[in-house]
Structure 1
């Protein structure tokens, strides 16, 4: 931003004055030898800019500052989006660790219970081996969950420049899913999304360059005024000169045509981006609805039934009617559904962040 601002201030300056001197008829031959016949001219000149060129340059500088400010706003949104996504990943990994710990506790408790039944000769030794395998699998998943959590925490800490995590846990609640506005309301925000806003700012910048091109069609006048001294007579006189370049209009027409082509390209890209953004928003909106439906189905229908199935199977196992494998399968189904609930909730939050990013609003920078 500082570089753009300094460039804008430089371009807004008026044309500089030019001071010069001419020495003629010096160190020649014959009557022009030495400096007796010298003619010395001191002059000051300046380019007189016509057609509003300075005003056009100032307008271009302002447009470029606004464009840079808009780009910085997009960069901040990208960083916020990335950090939020990493926070969600850390929260999910933390939930997975908690569930893995609970799974280990259940598997260890079940293994001890099976060992008692095997020792009492009610169950075969194969049940104990199966229980030990279930415990080992639960401990392995717990170890993997811990490693995943460490990686997620490290990525989150890197978002603010920390080499190692400077926190123990993340404070997040994935149980409550925030509401989502209707699609029409969200789609109504698209014209002021970061990409569309940047397109508007880029259009303003190109339009400012076009005004400079139009102004350059009117040639500038180079005027100078000076004093000439003739050593031969000791007289002095004023000297005035001016010059006017030719062919400025033709050169300017090419620059105007270039700016018009750039404007058309930006407009076409903005239209294509708008259509793509709407489609992306619709896709994510649909996926969010699916994720919410899945979470609600898991919480209200599937998990209660799975919990009831575990309770019934455990009572049957304790009464000797069900095998350990039936109990292990019921518990596995329960824990798998809990993991599925976490993933569905995390998917909802991740999509919510993407929707907020797509429909984010950047205030007018002008």
Structure 2
């Protein structure tokens, strides 16, 4: 379809141009109203404040590394002896402190460990964010399906109500059964309202995970690909040492050891050398002066800081062992949850849902023919609704288990290779 616009200066051209400007944002919003998992992850990488804060940590560590390698500044001194005119002695000197004991190298080593920690923390934060976005996205998908289930249950109940009302009018059913059907419809409508509220909450939580204050989408699109196969327990446990959490725990030991080395170097006093010139007005003579100074480590040998640094290193080793135990337990529990949920999903897919649906259809047809009471229809409907709810809960448990593992390993499609 082709159209032409009048010149913008004319009245018709201005009207068409204004209408076009109003329509274009709506079209763009309509195109962006469906959110996919990939787009949610990309948005989170760009907008999530926690991830942005972790990125700044790398620049902070780089600044500290630069500062750790800087040499001490020289000092300029001016001194006057005897303030009486004609008998003054003035000294101008320059002093430079020389660090001894390898302090500068120890600082650089510690700053290098801090930079590595910042990079690992960013990687760990990316895994945490990915797991949060994935979990929130799957929760939104489950909420959408829950609302669809409530709407289907409402249609099913309304159909049952119509059948009962028809039989009551025909005199082949008691008005009590119509009341029961009406109560069933009212209960399902309440469930639909709760499902709508749950969907709103799920959308808001997903928006917050991506760094948005409000949900800029109206629906999330479930991935068409099948759920990846559950990774083996042996495979994941073997890769546990390469996870950001374990690497972070090991690097924290190295960082504490570097801090201990730096504390030990502080026991060695620094040397200060000064050179200058002294002028005496009494003798009308200028002489050169040279000085050397060094603290005497008599009382303060940095013994307290050395002890504290040594115990922090021991603490980091225990924390590393604790992290390994915690992660191993988390992996085993998540795999067990995933396996149980996957079996339930398969059972529902194979027979339970189809059997429950057939039972509802058979009970409804039997009631229409007078073979069953409406209580049988209600029981079959409630069984179908309960089965669908359990099916959604099993899917949610499976998604939650996967999110728990991705929080540790990152993308499982990459971790399982």
2:342 is aligned to 292
TM-score (structure 2 length as normaliser): 0.80
2:220 is aligned to 170
Residue in structure 2 matching 1:68, options 112, 115, 118: 118
Equivalent runs, 1:86-125 vs 2, <5 Å: 86-125=136-175
Contact 1:23 1:38 in 2 (8 A): yes
Deviation per CA, 1:319-355: give whole Å up to 9, x if none: 2110111012112111210111111011101111101
How much does 1:110 deviate?
Answer: 1.6
How much does 1:274 deviate?
Answer: 0.6
Q: Aligned partners of 1:3, 1:300: CA distance in 2, in Å?
A: 55
2:34 is aligned to none
Residue in structure 2 matching 1:146, options 196, 214, 227: 196
Equivalent runs, 1:272-291 vs 2, <5 Å: 272-291=322-341
Residue in structure 2 matching 1:316, options 340, 348, 366: 366
How much does 1:269 deviate?
Answer: 1.1
Q: Aligned partners of 1:175, 1:63: CA distance in 2, in Å?
A: 41
Q: Does 1:359 align with 2:409?
A: yes
1:23 is aligned to 80
Q: Aligned partners of 2:82, 2:132: CA distance in 1, in Å?
A: 74
How much does 1:102 deviate?
Answer: 0.9
Q: How many residues matched?
A: 354
2:351 is aligned to 301
How much does 1:249 deviate?
Answer: 9.7
1:30 is aligned to none
Q: Is there any run of 5+ residues in structure 2 with no aligned partner, and where?
A: 1-56, 412-417
Q: Does 1:335 align with 2:385?
A: yes
Residue in structure 1 matching 2:262, options 189, 209, 212: 212
Q: Aligned partners of 2:377, 2:365: CA distance in 1, in Å?
A: 9
Q: Aligned partners of 1:140, 1:255: CA distance in 2, in Å?
A: 65
Q: Is there any run of 5+ residues in structure 1 with no aligned partner, and where?
A: 28-33, 362-366
Larger gyration radius, structure 1 or structure 2: 1
Contact 2:79 2:91 in 1 (8 A): yes
Q: Does 1:79 align with 2:129?
A: yes
**What SS does the aligned partner of 1:322 have?**
coil
Q: Does 1:263 align with 2:313?
A: yes
Q: Aligned partners of 2:253, 2:76: CA distance in 1, in Å?
A: 40
Q: Aligned partners of 2:259, 2:342: CA distance in 1, in Å?
A: 49
2:5 is aligned to none
Q: Aligned partners of 2:60, 2:223: CA distance in 1, in Å?
A: 43
Contact 1:224 1:241 in 2 (8 A): yes
2:97 is aligned to 47
How much does 1:241 deviate?
Answer: 0.7
Contact 1:92 1:346 in 2 (8 A): yes
Deviation per CA, 1:54-113: give whole Å up to 9, x if none: 121122222222222322333333333222221111111100111111111111122112
Q: Aligned partners of 1:160, 1:181: CA distance in 2, in Å?
A: 27
Contact 2:130 2:410 in 1 (8 A): no
TM-score (structure 1 length as normaliser): 0.91
Q: Aligned partners of 1:190, 1:81: CA distance in 2, in Å?
A: 17
1:221 is aligned to 271
Contact 2:132 2:403 in 1 (8 A): no
Q: Does 1:37 align with 2:94?
A: no
How much does 1:174 deviate?
Answer: 8.8
How much does 1:199 deviate?
Answer: 1.7
Q: Aligned partners of 2:361, 2:203: CA distance in 1, in Å?
A: 36
**What SS does the aligned partner of 2:301 have?**
helix
Contact 2:130 2:407 in 1 (8 A): no
How much does 1:253 deviate?
Answer: 4.3
Contact 1:48 1:221 in 2 (8 A): yes
Contact 1:12 1:61 in 2 (8 A): no
RMSD: 2.0
